[in-house]
Amino acid sequence: VHAARDIPKGETILYVPLKEIITLEMCMQSPIGIQMFNRGFRQRLLSPKHSFFSCFIMEETRKPDSYWAKYIDILPKSFEVYPIFYTEEEMSWLENTDMVRMVKTKLEDMKKDYDTITTEVPDFKQFPLKEYMEKRLLVASRIFGIDIYDNKTDGFVPYADMLNHKRPRETSWTYCNKRQGFIIEAIVDIKRG
């Protein structure tokens, strides 16, 4: 993303109202999320919040009238660039690196959570392992830790999740209770371009 004009320090660059943010609490109130919550999965899964978010996105993907359809539609559809989906040949390029062990561990962890959910939540069986893994990657790369009225949570924040980072950083982000939304503000003067 490049600035189309000069942006002065302190200016709000992005505002996303709460009603447009998918929060962890929202995910736990979905049909499958309720079943997972009631079975204590927040404490039992290796990556509970990622699993709740993944299930929510998979559920919403199957709803023809989902409020979140437009957001879900812009999420990536291809995942072969992620090491957990590398071919055997591509993994061989990483031979003798710690990456091979890390990928193996990540695959095992995702499979373990998937198997736990599938065993105890019959409705979850409609979701293939590969789709669950893809959604877990989306979640891990896109959720923001936010604090809404002293409740530490996480959320998918449309538009904000498409912005790249620059070092040193030129913006800061937070959830603003007064404005009831997620904001990104310039912390320095940002020149056009």
Give the model confidence (pLDDT) of 51-74 as tens digits: 999 999 999 999 999 999 999 999
Lowest mean pLDDT among 43-57, 101-115, 125-139, 154-168: 154-168
Q: Is the pTM of this model over 0.85?
A: yes
- Would you say residue 165 has pLDDT above 80? no
Q: What percent of the chain has pLDDT over 70?
A: 99
Provide mean pLDDT across the span 158-178.
Answer: 87
Euclidean distance between CA atoms 67 and 82, whole angstroms: 28
The pLDDT assigned to 161 comes to 83
Q: How far apart, in whole angstroms, are the C-alpha atoms of residue 88 and residue 103? A: 12
Q: Given pLDDT bands bounded at 50, 70 and 90, which one contains residue 10?
A: very high
- Cis preceding-peptide flag for 48 (omega within 30 of 0): no
Task: Fill in the amino acid letter for 75.
Answer: L
The one-letter amino acid at 74: I
The DSSP code for 68 is T
Residue 106 has pLDDT above 90, yes or no: yes
Contacts of 137-141 with CB under 8 Å at 24 or more apart are 137/79, 137/82, 137/84, 138/54, 138/57, 138/75, 138/76, 139/49, 139/50, 139/53, 139/54, 139/57, 140/50
pLDDT at 68: 96
20-39 mean pLDDT: 96
**Strand, helix or coil for residue 21:** coil
User: What is the overall mean pLDDT for the chain?
Assistant: 93
Q: Rounded to whole angstroms, how far apart are CA atoms 133 and 2?
A: 32
